[in-house]
Structure 1
Amino acid sequence: MQSLLMIVNLVLNVVWFFVIAHVIMSWLISFQVLNTRQQFVAQIWYGLNRILQPIYDPIRRILPPMGGFDLAPLLVLLAIMALRIVISNNIGYMY
């Protein structure tokens, strides 16, 4: 059971880095540092959107419209942090 919790923690870490990369890329695209007409940038952006869209969509349906602010990544990061805390606190009970 401890191995399963460690695998879940690893997956949460990977999702954490994907969300952070998505947020940073969205800022860089918004400030025109990156251009989505470049094929490499467009492929990374499309891939991150395809991975994270199923996670963001249920949260975006619950949140009210914020006038251009997307708080879905923030809530995903908070949920990941909460799950990692729960896993780390309960992994010692699996011996």
Structure 2
Amino acid sequence: MNSLLGLIIQIINLYQFVLIIYIIATWLVSFNIINTSNRFVYSVMKTLYRLCEPSLRYIRQFLPSFGSIDISPIIVYLLLWFL
């Protein structure tokens, strides 16, 4: 039981790390520092999108619109942190 709890905690920590990488990568793409026409960057962004977007999409359903500001990654990160 104790090892199962440790495994779940490690998976949550790994997902938090992936979420932070996704946030930083989307900022870099938005500011045109990295370009998604590069095949490696595109494949990394596609993988990060597939990992992070389902949880972010679920949170976005309940959040009001803040214009162009998306706070769903912050909400997901805080929810994972409180677990």
TM-score by length of 2: 0.96
Identity of matched residues, %: 35
Task: Indicate the SS of the match to 1:66.
Answer: coil
Question: Which residue of structure 2 lines up, in the alignment, with residue 31 of structure 1?
Answer: 31
The one-letter code matched in structure 1 to 2:39 is: Q
Map 1:35-46 onto structure 2 (within 5 A).
Answer: 35-46=35-46
Give the whole-Å Cα distance in 2 for the aligned partners of 1:8 and 1:77: 16
The Cα RMSD (Å) is: 0.7
Give the whole-Å Cα distance in 2 for the aligned partners of 1:23 and 1:56: 11
Map 1:1-95 onto structure 2 (within 5 A).
Answer: 1-83=1-83
Shift of 1:44: 0.5
Give the whole-Å Cα distance in 1 for the aligned partners of 2:73 and 2:7: 22
Higher relative CO (CA 8 A, sep ≥ 6), structure 1 or 2? 1
Give the whole-Å Cα distance in 1 for the aligned partners of 2:11 and 2:70: 23
Please, which runs of 5 or more residues in structure 2 have no aligned partner?
none
**Deviation digits for residues 53-92 of structure 1 (CA, Å, limit 9, x no counterpart):** 1111110000011101111110111011101xxxxxxxxx
Q: Which protein is richer in helix relative to its size?
A: 1
Task: Indicate the SS of the match to 1:62.
Answer: coil
Give the paired residue count: 83
The one-letter code matched in structure 2 to 1:22 is: Y
Tell which structure's C-alpha radius of gyration is larger: 1
Give the whole-Å Cα distance in 2 for the aligned partners of 1:19 and 1:68: 19
TM-score by length of 1: 0.84
